[in-house]
Amino acid sequence: MRENSVFEKLQNLVEEARIGIFITVDEKSSPHPRWMSPVFLPRLKGALYAVTSADNEKVRHLEANPRVSWIFQSRSLDRIATLNGRARVVRDPTLSAEVLEAIGPRLQVFWKYTGDPKKLLVLETVLEDFSWFSPLKEGKVSQEISHG
């Protein structure tokens, strides 16, 4: 499986699933999974973007340990991807606007519980490696992601 075809498959799965499990690790090395709605931005290859509130515990987790994982699956479980990388808060108004435009329709729950748009932060996960499981096609594939 070529890396370009893998990115296309990952992008298609994220677009189709619309939500994934985002896992951070706190300062005591305890994992914290939660559902989030991320997007790939076509002009920024190799990274996944999501939004959170400045008050959210995941912001503190990322300060202690930027290593994160994302898990996505298709409804029929015929495609499952686990993506690993390093996440950080991005404080760029232009990027924030671009992410909000791409992800906006999926944020009903976020706005209900977050409330204050002034506290909105963009999280960028630069992907380092992944595993792809498609039992009826490719089986299991693991691969590092190059950024060059």
Domain regions of the chain by residue span: 3-143
Q: Which fold has domain 3-143?
A: Pnp Oxidase; Chain A (2.30.110)
CA separation for the pair 32, 66 (Å, rounded): 13
User: Above 80 in pLDDT, residue 7?
Assistant: no
CA separation for the pair 138, 134 (Å, rounded): 5
Instruction: Give residue 14's pLDDT band: very low, low, confident or very high (50, 70, 90).
Output: very high
Residue 48 · residue 127 · CB < 8 Å: yes
Q: In this predicted structure, which of 93-97, 118-122, 136-140 has the lowest mean pLDDT?
A: 136-140
Instruction: Give residue 2's pLDDT band: very low, low, confident or very high (50, 70, 90).
Output: very low
CA separation for the pair 131, 1 (Å, rounded): 12
User: Above 60 in pLDDT, residue 1?
Assistant: no
- Within 10 Å of residue 8's Cβ, how many Cβ atoms? 11
If one compares 140 and 87, the residue with the highest pLDDT of the two is 87
If one compares 133 and 34, the residue with the highest pLDDT of the two is 34
Residue 83 · residue 70 · CB < 8 Å: yes
- Within 10 Å of residue 106's Cβ, how many Cβ atoms? 16
pLDDT of residue 109: 60
pLDDT in tens, 15-34: 999 999 999 999 999 999 99
Task: Report the predicted TM-score, pTM, of the whole model to 2 decimal places.
Answer: 0.85
The set of residues, in sequence order, having a beta carbon less than 8 Å from that of 95 and lying 6+ positions away, is 49, 122, 124
